Structure formats: C-alpha cells, structure tokens
Chains A and B, each alone.
Chain A
C-alpha cells in the first residue's frame, strides 16, 4: 500500500513542479524584460512554447544514432526520479540515510545524458557544446559537494535519525547553531551555493555550453520538436530541484507550524511557501544575474571555479569544522 502512495505522491509532485517551474520561467522572462524596459512575453508563455514544441515535427539528423532519441526520455526520467529525493518544504519522498549522494548523482546524470545525446547527434556544434558542458560539470560540482557534505556532517553531529539525508534540514538547520564562526561560514557557503546554482542552470556568467550566439545552442543544436520539449521540461525540473536544495539548506523554515496546521493542509501550505522561497532564490541567482552579467569564456569560468569558488567553499567549510572541533575555544 505504501508503494502506491509513494507513486501517487511522486506523480502529484511531478505535475506540481512541472507547472511551477514553467510558470517561473514565464515570470523570469517577464522580469528580465522589465529590467530592460521591454514588455516581455505573457507569464504563461513557456506553456505555449512547450505545447508548440510537442506538436511540431521532430527531425532526426542523418548521422544520429539511437541514443539521440533515447537521451531526452532518459533526461526527463532522471529529473522525475530526482524529484523523489528533493526536499520541497517537507522531507523528500524517499528520504533515507545517505540519500544526498543519490541527489548529486541524479543531478549530474541529467547533465551527462544531455551530453551523450549531443554527442550522438553527429553535429560539430553539439560536440563543442558537449565538451564545454562536461568541463563545466567537472568544475562546478566540487565546491558544491564540499559545502553540502560539510553542512550535513555538522547537522549529523546534532543527533539526527537519518544522517546525510536531505530530510535532516527539516529537523535542524545550520543557523540554529548560532555560533559566530558557523554563521559566518554558512554565509560564505551561501554565496558559493548561489554561484553554483547559477552555473547549474547555466545563466549569466555560466551560460557557456548553450551560448546561443557562439555555438548555436550547443548541445541542443540538433534537437527539435518533442525531443527538444522533453529536454526543456527536464531542465526546468532540474532548475527547480537545484534551487530547492539551496532553499532547504539555508531557509528550511515552514509556516504551517506557526499557523497550527497539520496533515495534508500543512504539506500543501509548506509546499506553496517553499515554492515562494524557490522563486526568490531564483530571482537573485537567475533573473538578476542573467540581466546584469555577460557570458564568460570557458577558460575564465573554469578558472573562476577552481581559483575563486572552490577556495571560498574551503574557507566556509574550515570555519564550520573549526567551530565543531573547538580548535579555538
């Protein structure tokens, strides 16, 4: 019986997150348009785009192999699986001890499947985009993992029932510890995570693999019709999931407790509140960042990750570690 509820829950979450993430895309386009003194598209534009792409003919290049058609399905499948491990204002559906690794793995897998699909298309534009995407993937995950593991390790010291699970953020949060070192370390890590989020959804500085004007949409160069629609949907889901991670780490507070709600009402309210927080985080990390910064070259971006963001992550982690181990009293 439990597995039936889980399946239903996953379907419900999937439908909700698809709607919310596409809605956010519309809001984002509107906001960026307004920042540039344009009218912008209607808020529901991404839904129309999606429907139009689904209805269009999908062109398979002559040089493509079977994986070209499988990749969009796999990408969407891994994004849906990712939702089962994503904290959305309440514990993830499949929260177990150590599920953070599954989360990171699925997040990386989506990018990797995109790359494999691009390579399978046989187009040199897609190949170049794929190489860039792989380089970005290898650079951006290291500071994020370092920070995430450090915070989860810190929280597991407080005696949680499922250590290294993304559910632990709803038991304790990192600000609760309250010592100056931890607060400062957490703040440093927050900046790292905002930058990571921008690179994960590839906006602003980090819009490198897809760079429209340079390599003609990079990995997506040969995709059209419903295959492209599946990819668009899966990146929207991934965007929401990555932002949810940032929200869950740094702002896990729900409001249902204050209003004295329980049961299904509390879940829905927390989900809505969580969505609002995701939109705010995305506003900072996506809309503003996209409107005010240009694209870096791939070498500059890699240099930034290994030269700036990784040391920053190290500093944040060290501060937390020093605090826990009590090296300086």
Chain B
C-alpha cells in the first residue's frame, strides 16, 4: 500500500527539516529536494495504479474496514483516491518538485531557509491531503494546513512592505473563507451525523433538507474564495505578486486548484451527485436542484474569465498580470465544471468536465513556467515593472524562449498543450449554450492582448536596466526547460491524452454509476 507514503514522506521531511538544517547549510536544500522527489515518485506510482485498474483506492486509517464494530456505517477516516485525485496529486508533486529545485538558486540570498523549506513541504502536504481524502473534516484540516502554510509563505519576505500587506490581506480573507467551509461542514454533520463523503452523499440523497442546501451554499462560497473567483479574487492579485516566485508558481499553479476548483468539483459531484438528484426529482421525491448550482457556478465562471482576463490587459507589473491571468483561467475551469453539472450525463457534460480537468493540469504547468520566468527576470534585472523592462531577449534568450512558449500555450495556440483543453471547453460550452462559448472566446481575446503586450517588452530595444542582465543559473533554468518540454510534448499528443486520461477521469468524477459511493458500500455489504 503506497498511499499513506504520499502523506508520510512530506510530513517526515517537514518535521525533520529543523534537525537536518543543524548539520549544514546546503544539506537542508538537498533534503527538501530528495523529499519532494520521493513524493513525486509515490504520486506517479499511485496515479499509474489507479489509471491502470480504473478503480478507486479506498484506504482506512487505523483499521482494515471503515465500518465500525456492530454498526452499519463508517466511523473511521477514509482516504478515497479516484483518477482525479491521483492526477492532481501527480501534478502537485511534479510542480512542487520543480519549485523546490528552482528555489535552490532563487532563494539563495534569503535568510531563514529552513523555515522556507519546511513550509513548502507542508504546503505540498496540505494539497496532497486535500486531493486524497474522502472525509470531509479531514478535508478541512488539510485545507487549513495548506492555507496557513501559504499565508506564511506569501509573507515570507517580511522585510518588504508588500509581502506583509499581501500576507495580512490573504490571511484575513482566507480565514473568513475557511470558517464558511467549517460552518458548512458543521451543518452537514449536525444534520446527517457522518463526515465520510461517500456516506454523506447517500444520506443527503435519502433526506435532502434545507440544511443541506445552506451547507452547500457555504461550502461553494468558501471554495470560490479559495479559488479566486471574481467577486472575491482581490487577495489573489496581491498575494501572487508579493510571494517569492517559486511560491507564486505553486500558489497559482496548485493552491487555487487543489483548495479551490478541485474541492468544488469533489463536493458538487461526489457529495451532491447531480445524477442522483435528477433521478430523485424525476420520481417527484425531495431532491436538491443541482441545475441551480450549475448555473451559479457558470455565472461566477463567466464573470471570472471576463474580468480576470480584462484586468490582466491593463497591468504594468509582470507578476500581477500573471496573477490576473490565473484568475481568468480559473474561470475556464469553473465554466467546465459548471457545464459538467448542468449537462450531467450528456456528451457535452462529460466533455466539459474532461476539458476542465485537462485545463487544471495544463494551467498548472504553464503558470508555473510563467512565474518561474518572472522570477528569473526579477532575480536578474531587479524589477518586474513592464514599462522599465524591454529587450530582454538579447541578454536572456533561454528565459525569453520559455516565456514565448508559456504565453503561446496559455493563449491556446495549436501546437501547445493549452489549445486542446481550451478547445474542449469551447466545444462543450458551444454544444450546451453558444452564448457561453462566445463569452469564453472574448476572454481569450483579452488574454491574447495581455500576453502580446508582455511579448513586446521581451523583444524590442534594450532598456538601461536590462543592459547588465544575464541568464539565471542552472538550477533555475532547468525547471523552466523541463516545463517547456512537458508543455510541448503534451501539446503534440492532445487527443491521445484526452482520450486515455482526461475522459476516463471525467467519467469517474461524474460517477454515472455512483462509483464513489460504491467503493465504500462494498465494505457495508461485506461487514
């Protein structure tokens, strides 16, 4: 059983870091690298297992079976890993490993690095916990682990005013969001008396009360905060530019996905199953109107992708521009999830979900690359103001190449990976409702304008500040190049990846046959 090691290894790495750091300056960096590399190996193994067998891994903490002695319901914490969880775990560990590698060079001039590496491992641990857990309170605990680690990392450079300011803002907003989520969980527990997600879904279907609806509203509200959807995206635009770039890459690539859109998808599809409730409704039984939930998500998605991308056009700060672009891309993912809920069980719904999942992975890679590029520019030139930067291409050709690939991929130009995922989202939204597709295309036009502007500052005439710039060191270049290769290779095999990985993942998440529940019910039957 390899699943527990996904948590054990980073936990061990984080807790041993203060001791390891006593033994030498360099050792802690290599220790973090080894730990995150090992986690990547475990995640790859788990992903391969789940993908190969196409079955949900159910792991119970502390016993063989989640079912209590003499009772007919689960009493223990279970971890339930379906393909979506495994895919996210693989993405998280991959980008996390590259971020640690990048930090070797990038964080060289900072102090307090043993705390930095402890926090980065805890951040990874929190996200991994979120994507593998099948227990809703366990989910909350991991969400808080992730959130608190990211508050601390945003404010890591506590001698800069913007770091502190962004950290405080993020912490206040994030705590409110977390308490919404906790309130939602408390309501669900009070009503149904269980915390296991799959059992909860069964209980909610048996008796969908008003409390369940209120809880759902609190959960989705809190998670939209965490994913940076539009009316509540203001923390993101401050937190991402202020954090060290290796952390921005993780925040933008992973945190808003694991703690935001992944959790939305998990709660909408695994706890409140749209198919089950549509079935109940067909027989005039009490049910929750999942169509309304879908429209709420689609509404915020459209707002997010328009405002996020439009705000990116007017930015003069490179990292702030990337941060707003992340908001915009979250809009696409939410649009996919929303249409997946609305058109549940149809071809459009399945495609939309597959597109959303595909875009989660693609955007994680692309945005990590772009923030690495921004970090390299800040590290070498010392400014991220686009008006002062111009003509970087002569002094930093590899970084410029990485930027061009990243920008082209995020706009969605064909030979790169962003194309396929966006295409699937456009196609499915056009199948469901052409107006939504038109909104999505308008969002892309804005993001094209935003990135073209940055491109002109990379090319063009050299400005004074750029004259003395040079390429960053190898430990910063290598992660960028790995990501460039990943983006290009994924871009060359878009439909194969979609058919082999993303569509099965979407089907498993959709759980047309209630796979997520059945994985637990097997124990109920045998007990």
Contacts and interface: CB of A to CB of B under 8 A. Distances in A.
24 contacts: A63-B391, A63-B394, A63-B461, A63-B462, A64-B394, A65-B391, A65-B393, A65-B394, A65-B397, A65-B400, A65-B459, A66-B393, A66-B394, A66-B397, A67-B393, A67-B459, A105-B413, A105-B414, A116-B459, A119-B456, A120-B393, A120-B460, A122-B460, A134-B452
B455 interface: yes
B391 A122 contact: yes
B464 to A, nearest CB: 13
A63 B460 CA distance: 8
A123 B455 CA distance: 16
Contacts of B393: 65-67, 120
Contacts of A122: 391, 460-462
Contacts of B461: 63, 122
Contacts of B455: 116
A21 interface: no
With most chain A CB atoms within 10 A of its CB, the pick from B393, B400, B456, B459 is: B459
A8 interface: no
Interface in A12-55: none
A122 B391 CA distance: 8
Contacts of B413: 105
Given A65-B394, A65-B397, 20 more contacts: A63-B391, A63-B394, A63-B461, A64-B394, A65-B393, A65-B400, A65-B459, A66-B394, A66-B397, A67-B393, A102-B414, A105-B413, A105-B414, A116-B455, A116-B459, A119-B459, A119-B460, A120-B459, A122-B462, A134-B452
A119 B397 CA distance: 15
A234 interface: no
A227 B452 CA distance: 24
Given A65-B391, A67-B393, A122-B391, A127 B414 contact: no
A105 B414 CA distance: 9
A143 B400 CA distance: 34
Contacts of B456: 119
With most chain B CB atoms within 10 A of its CB, the pick from A64, A67, A127 is: A67
Nearest to A64: B394
Nearest to A131: B456
Interface of B: 391, 393-394, 397, 400, 413-414, 452, 455-456, 459-462
Contacts of A119: 456, 459-460
Contacts of B452: 134
With most chain B CB atoms within 10 A of its CB, the pick from A65, A116, A119, A134 is: A65
Nearest to A118: B459
Contacts, number: 34
A120 B400 CA distance: 12
With most chain A CB atoms within 10 A of its CB, the pick from B413, B455, B456 is: B456
Q: Would you call the interface of chain A mostly helix, strand, loop, or mixed?
A: helix
Interface of A: 63-67, 102, 105, 116, 119-120, 122, 127, 134
A114 to B, nearest CB: 13
Nearest to A101: B414
Contacts of B462: 63, 122
With most chain B CB atoms within 10 A of its CB, the pick from A102, A116, A119, A134 is: A119
A248 to B, nearest CB: 22
Nearest to B456: A119
A69 to B, nearest CB: 12
A134 B413 CA distance: 17
Nearest to B427: A98
Contacts of A134: 452
The 3 closest A-B pairs by CB, nearest first: A65-B393, A65-B394, A122-B461
A66 B399 CA distance: 13
Contacts of B397: 65-66
Contacts of B460: 119-120, 122, 127
B409 to A, nearest CB: 15
Contacts of A127: 460
Contacts of B391: 63, 65, 122
A116 B77 CA distance: 56
Contacts of A63: 391, 394, 461-462
B453 to A, nearest CB: 11
A126 to B, nearest CB: 10
A67 B456 CA distance: 12
A67 B462 CA distance: 14
Contacts of A116: 455, 459
A120 B393 CA distance: 8
A85 to B, nearest CB: 12
A84 to B, nearest CB: 14
A67 B414 CA distance: 20
A243 to B, nearest CB: 24
Contacts of B459: 65, 67, 116, 119-120
B225 to A, nearest CB: 36
Nearest to B462: A63
Nearest to A71: B459
Nearest to B393: A65
Contacts of A105: 413-414
Contacts of A102: 414
A100 to B, nearest CB: 13
A65 B459 CA distance: 7
A65 B413 CA distance: 23
A93 to B, nearest CB: 17
A64 B520 CA distance: 64
Contacts of A65: 391, 393-394, 397, 400, 459
Nearest to A102: B414
A119 B452 CA distance: 12
A102 B413 CA distance: 10
A323 to B, nearest CB: 20
B486 to A, nearest CB: 22
B381 to A, nearest CB: 15
Nearest to A127: B460
A64 B397 CA distance: 12
A12 B328 CA distance: 45
A325 to B, nearest CB: 15
Contacts of B414: 102, 105
A116 B413 CA distance: 16
Nearest to B449: A138
Contacts of A64: 394
Contacts of B394: 63-66
B428 to A, nearest CB: 15
Nearest to A117: B459
A116 B391 CA distance: 12
A127 B391 CA distance: 13
A122 B462 CA distance: 8
A120 B404 CA distance: 13
Nearest to B401: A66
A204 B205 CA distance: 69
B68 to A, nearest CB: 56
Contacts of A67: 393, 400, 459
A63 B462 CA distance: 7
A102 B419 CA distance: 12
A64 B461 CA distance: 8
A26 to B, nearest CB: 35
